[in-house]
Structure 1
Amino acid sequence: MTEQRIGIIDIGSNSVRLVVYERTANGAHRVIDGGKRPARLAERVDDNGFLAEEAITELLGTLNHFNMICAHNRTGHIRAVATAAIRNAANQSAILDTIKSETGLAIELLSGEDEASYGFLGMINAMDVQDGFLVDIGGGSTEVSLFRGRQLVHSVSFPFGCVSLNQKYAVKGMLSDEGLKSIEALVTEAVKSQPWLTKSPSLPLIGVGGTARAMGKIHQAVTKYPFTQTHNYPMTGTDADVLFQELFQTPFDKRRKFPGLSKDRVDVIVPGIAVLRTLFRLLKTSHYRICGSGLRDGLFHATRFPGRSMHQDVLAFSLRNVSALHPAAPKQHVMQVNRLALQLYDELRPFHLLPNRAKVLLDAASTLFRIGASIDYYEYAKHTFYLIVNSHLNGLAHRETLMIAAIASYKSKNRTRQQLLEYKELLGESDFDTIHKLGILLQLAAALDRSETQAIGRLEAVQSGSQLLLYPVRSDGTLAVEAREVEELSSDFKKLWGLIPELVQPDYT
């Protein structure tokens, strides 16, 4: 069905991007195609504020190319928006008319406020964060928003971005000390004009958009960070300052080889981070968090879920989505294992002093433990680990994503250590302890529905000496297969929990 595919085109001041989203037959959402073309529109404006003819011709070429990609994907709905460069162009209406007649696309011209609110929607649906400042440094504008209790409180759009500042203050991609001072003075004046900006100290600064993502990527490359996602990546103020000084002082030709820096950002990264760290200091924020979702994601949510575009529980939303992307997992069995795992966790509360988040991790792991079967049943645990690490599970720290992957695919302590070897700097000993305990607990829950018949209605756990007696309160038919599986697990379970589990068969005589 064609209307299940939505194309979002974002004509930014630095680049023009396309993302094609698909809704699968199972109701999951995923990106199936996309494209990005550097445009640098913000630096191609003449002294009278007119965007150059040549830039418009190039833009038409890009939009027609994106139109073809959407047509190949049988995209039912295309939503195309433009931001600061076209918003501020003196020939704005002529540009929009030309685009309409040459490409058939009706472009929505977003105000700075629209831009901030769609950026906020993209971020809030991807992060479990209550309060903070959201900063989006684009090519031609910078949006700063304050949110409290997951609601947007204030937002402002400033008329400068990394491309326009680079054009104004840098010479051949290099910023002088004077140029840097000028940018800092400009940002300082802008902040002074909005008194609310300095009245909420100690909140995190959430960075969305190209500059923030690039900063996170470079920092990960420089520090050889083992996890490949920049989404939800934390950085301290010092991290950003040290990185900035290094980029600022690196000559332009050498900067091209800087680890993690893409070639189309070599010149604009320095003014971009200069703005970011000046805001960090003036707003007295506590730390940075890089967000991988922004304007385009917000536009997608607003288009796909009109009227209910904000999801309150971001982890639950993405768990449902990832599960629906892998329909090979037997749904009833997975729901039963999830239910039994959480029940066992509660029953065993007196025996474990696991951290509060442990139940959240177990819930996620027991929801996803069979997704690897969509690749290969016999090796499903290995594939489950890979899929979870590389899926976008929102609302989690990187460390927690790794823990969920390890719990979901748990086989033994040694195998888990081996599996997590390349990520070991992100995990502490207590994390391994939690993984092993929850991993074997999930194995026990799976054993209790080994026949995949959901025969156990409810379970009661009773400790008797070193035994953990499991009584099915309601059950259908014999549980011989389950009893055998529980017995096979019992020695491994005892090593971790100090208890020997035994499924007490109902007496049918």
Structure 2
Amino acid sequence: MSLEKIAIIDIGSNSMRLEILARRGSDYWLVEKQKETARISSGMYNETTITRESLERAKLALEKFSSLIAFHRADHIRCVATSAVRDAKNQADVLELLGSNLPYKIEVLSGEEEAFYSYFGVKNSLDLDDGVVFDVGGGSTECISVRKGQMDTVCTLPLGAVRLTELFFRKNQGPTSREWKKLEKHIDRVLSEAPSSLLSSSPRLVGVGGTVRQIARISQRLQKYPLYPIVHQYVVEKREMDRIMTSVREMSFSQRSEVLGIPRDRADILPAGILLISRILDFFRSDSLTVSQQGLRYGLFMEYYRGGREKLSESPAKLTLRRISRKYGSYRDSRNQRKLTLALGRALFPDTFSDPRQRILLSTVSTLSMTPLYFHPVTDTSNIGPLFLEEDLQGFSHPERVMITLALIRSRTPQEQDFRKNMKPFSDMLNPDQINKVNLYARLTTLARDALLFSGGRLPVLSYTDPYLMIADPGNLDEDNHYESTLIQTQERDLGKGRNVILQWMRYIPPQGGIHYH
């Protein structure tokens, strides 16, 4: 398979970003990431004209990006501009100056197009059947309602962190109480003009954009969160966001950087941005926000990767599982392990594994247990953990990442003291039921592996009558075309959740009456 590289440039109102991704077959990965704080919208909101100084900063950023694109020999380039360039009265002059000597065209996205790509990036990176996606930028906010997994109502609002800071706050100073109240009323008034159909959606909110990600990192930093700084699918509670907002508002610029770790290029616009997001949560009557690392740029890439905008055939979690297993092994080679583990789960714990999400998580543990990364070196469990906790994975929540990692480690090192040691950094992330699920995934995965080893890699025939589980290697037909059964061994095994089973290991059994694999 040939390797191709795709470059995405996003000319935002505050930041300009370049991402170069490589693709080979169904796999892809990030090879270059660059950010320049050009703040092209600086000083434009009184006369809606982009200044010469801002254009010079943007031009220098594009020159850097072009050098990186040439260095990596990108095969495809997509460069888009959003709110600031879209709203500028001098848009033609801006495009002429910035586009001169560039080997690619600058495409100005409409508000609806920007909203679509934000939605498409989110939809390809997490499960969202019903809810609202909002993308807070420097100059505008896009809101997209999602119904039955599809984009429904779309609107673009003139609310952005840079725009609001410049229009309502004094330069280089913290906001006064009067300025704060005035901005709060302005945000509420603009939100009230949004289409009423947005409010009929599920209250689940997914936020995109630099300010949203920064709030998540502040929250993680204050909590000493074990997965810091991974923010994709991190959940921020409304009450916690309001506490952060109070702290940010009262701090000086330097304190925001030193205490909260806020980059200096975002320290001045964060108060307006976080107030905007807080009012958005109030507007939609939501008590929490799910953060998406992926938005417009990922949406642009996924349109190219998928060859269009067609509906996803599988969930992001399933697609991620296929990508990882193919990257580090073979999805096909894990087929029997996966099918047998799921069959055992459904037979022994039908209530638990009637839930499609539980089947995905068990399937993930079982599949990854067959990757070469997991087996080499045999006694080292440090490889699979960082992979699933640190790699760019779509479709899994933070607790699910931890559960899968711990289940993989537990299935390989079943000693209780070792498990407690691995569990300690994440003890606050999982509730008792989730910890029980970790043990269950691990034990079912181990049992399936033992059964496949017993039957020489072939799918054994299962038969379960509580508390007896018969695992039989079908063997070969005799001369009369009949099967014979022979008991090899009987043993008791604890599968967790108070369930002990008596295993009967058999050879040569009749083909009828077994558990069917799906």
Q: Give the aligned partner of residue 84 of structure 1.
A: 83
Q: How many corresponding residue pairs?
A: 494
Q: Give the aligned partner of residue 447 of structure 1.
A: 450
Q: Is the 8 A contact 2:451 2:471 kept in 1?
A: no
2:258 partner letter: K
1:325 partner letter: K
Q: Is the 8 A contact 2:330 2:371 kept in 1?
A: no
1:240 aligns with 2:226: no
Give distance in 2, aligned partners of 1:440 and 1:60.
Answer: 58
Alignment of 1:132-281 (within 5 A): 132-171=131-170, 172-196=172-196, 199-200=199-200, 203-228=203-228, 229-281=230-282
- Cα gap change, 1:469/1:494 in structure 2, threshold over 3 Å: closer, same or farther? farther
Secondary structure (helix, strand or coil) at the match of 1:333 reads coil
Give distance in 1, aligned partners of 2:108 and 2:490.
Answer: 64
1:416 aligns with 2:419: yes
Secondary structure (helix, strand or coil) at the match of 2:67 reads helix
- Cα gap change, 1:78/1:498 in structure 2, threshold over 3 Å: closer, same or farther? same
Secondary structure (helix, strand or coil) at the match of 1:49 reads coil
Alignment of 1:36-75 (within 5 A): 36-45=35-44, 48-75=47-74
Q: Give the aligned partner of residue 481 of structure 1.
A: none
1:321-373 CA distances to partner (integer Å, 9 max, x unpaired)?
222222xx3544311111111111122236x8678343322111112123462
Alignment of 1:101-120 (within 5 A): 101-120=100-119
- Cα gap change, 1:461/1:494 in structure 2, threshold over 3 Å: closer, same or farther? farther
Q: CA deviation at 1:78?
A: 0.7
Alignment of 1:398-409 (within 5 A): 398-409=398-409
Give distance in 2, aligned partners of 1:488 and 1:308.
Answer: 54
Q: Which moved more, 1:144-153 or 1:406-415?
A: 406-415
TM-score in terms of structure 2 length: 0.87
- Cα gap change, 1:32/1:432 in structure 2, threshold over 3 Å: closer, same or farther? same
1:96-142 CA distances to partner (integer Å, 9 max, x unpaired)?
12233222220110111111110011011112122112211101111
Q: Give the aligned partner of residue 508 of structure 2.
A: 506
Give distance in 2, aligned partners of 1:176 and 1:100.
Answer: 41
- Cα gap change, 1:382/1:495 in structure 2, threshold over 3 Å: closer, same or farther? farther
The structure 2 residue matched to 1:323, chosen from 315, 322, 325, is 325
Give distance in 2, aligned partners of 1:390 and 1:488.
Answer: 42
1:266 partner letter: A
- Cα gap change, 1:176/1:202 in structure 2, threshold over 3 Å: closer, same or farther? farther
- Cα gap change, 1:441/1:198 in structure 2, threshold over 3 Å: closer, same or farther? closer
- Cα gap change, 1:355/1:46 in structure 2, threshold over 3 Å: closer, same or farther? closer
1:406-456 CA distances to partner (integer Å, 9 max, x unpaired)?
222322133222212101001122222221122021012122333896333
Structure 2's unaligned 5+ residue stretches are 479-487, 511-518
TM-score in terms of structure 1 length: 0.89
Secondary structure (helix, strand or coil) at the match of 2:200 reads coil
Give distance in 1, aligned partners of 2:54 and 2:489.
Answer: 71
Once superposed, what is the RMSD of the aligned Cα atoms?
Answer: 2.9
Secondary structure (helix, strand or coil) at the match of 1:147 reads strand
Q: Give the aligned partner of residue 288 of structure 2.
A: 287
Secondary structure (helix, strand or coil) at the match of 2:382 reads helix
Q: CA deviation at 1:493?
A: 5.5
Secondary structure (helix, strand or coil) at the match of 1:257 reads helix
Q: Is the 8 A contact 2:318 2:360 kept in 1?
A: no
Q: Which moved more, 1:421-430 or 1:256-265?
A: 256-265
